[in-house]
Structure 1
Amino acid sequence: MHVVVNAAMSADGKLSSRRREQIEISGPTDFDRVDQLRADSDAVMVGVGTVLADDPSLTIDDPERRAARAERGDPENPARVVADSRVRTPPDATVLDGRAQTYLLVSEAAPPDFIEEMEDAGAYVIAAGRDRVDLTTTLAKLEGEGIDRLMVEGGGELIFGLFEESLVDELFVYVGPKIIGGRDAPTLADGDGFVEDFPELELAGVERVDDGVVLHWTAEN
Structure 2
Amino acid sequence: MSPEPPPARPFVLISAAMSVDGHIDDATEARLMLSTAEDFDRVDALRAQSDAVLVGAGTLRADDPRLEVRDAARREARLARGLTEHPLKVALAGHGGLAPELRLWHSGGAKLVLAPDAAVPGLRASLGGLAEVVGTGAGLDAARVLDELAARGVRRLMVEGGGAIQSLFLTAGLVDEIQLAVAPFFVGEASAPRFAPPAARAFPQDATHRMTLLGAQTLGDVVVLRYAARREDASLVTQADLDWMRVAIDLSRQCPPSETAYSVGAVVVAADGTEIARGFSREGGDDKAHAEESALGKIDPSDPRLRTATIYSTLEPCSVRASRPSPCAELIRTAGIGRVVLAWREPALFVADCQGVELLEAAGATVLETPSLAEEARAVNAHLVNPN
TM range (shorter): over 0.9
| 1:202 equivalent in alignment to 2:207 | no
| 1:79 equivalent in alignment to 2:88 | yes
| 1:110 equivalent in alignment to 2:119 | yes
Match of residue 158 from structure 1: 165
Aligned equivalent of 2:99, options 90, 93, 99: 90
- Residue 194 to residue 214, structure 1, CA distance change in 2 (3 Å): farther
Aligned equivalent of 2:186, options 179, 197, 217: 179
Paired with 1:129 and 1:20, the residues of 2 have a C-alpha distance of 33
Match of residue 285 from structure 2: none
Query: Runs of 5+ in structure 1 lacking a partner?
Result: none
Paired with 2:106 and 2:171, the residues of 1 have a C-alpha distance of 31
Task: Please identify which structure carries the higher helix content.
Answer: 2
| 1:145 equivalent in alignment to 2:155 | no
Aligned equivalent of 1:14, options 14, 18, 23: 23
Rg (Cα) greater in structure? 2
Give runs of aligned pairs for residues 44-59 of structure 1, distance below 5 A: 44-59=53-68
The alignment partner of 2:114 has SS state of strand
Aligned residues of 1:127 and 1:138 also touching (Cα < 8 A): no
Paired with 2:101 and 2:77, the residues of 1 have a C-alpha distance of 29
Give runs of aligned pairs for residues 13-52 of structure 1, distance below 5 A: 13-19=22-28, 21-52=30-61
The alignment partner of 2:99 has SS state of coil
The alignment partner of 2:164 has SS state of helix
The alignment partner of 1:75 has SS state of coil
Task: Please identify which structure carries the higher strand content.
Answer: 1
Match of residue 74 from structure 2: 65
Cα RMSD after superposing both structures? 1.7
Question: What are the superposed Cα offsets for residues 62-90 of structure 1, whole Å, 9 maximum, x if unpaired?
Answer: 00100110111111111100010123211
The alignment partner of 1:109 has SS state of helix
Once the two structures are TM-superposed, the CA of residue 129 in structure 1 deviates from its matched residue by 3.0
The alignment partner of 1:31 has SS state of helix
Paired with 1:194 and 1:86, the residues of 2 have a C-alpha distance of 19
- Residue 126 to residue 135, structure 1, CA distance change in 2 (3 Å): farther
* Greater RCO, 1 or 2 (C-alpha within 8 Å, sep 6+): 1
Question: What are the superposed Cα offsets for residues 80-120 of structure 1, whole Å, 9 maximum, x if unpaired?
Answer: 000101232111211111511011010011152432333x2
Identical pairs, percent: 35
Give the structure-2-normalised TM-score.
Answer: 0.54
Aligned residues of 2:66 and 2:107 also touching (Cα < 8 A): no
Give the count of matched residue pairs. Answer: 219
Give the structure-1-normalised TM-score.
Answer: 0.93
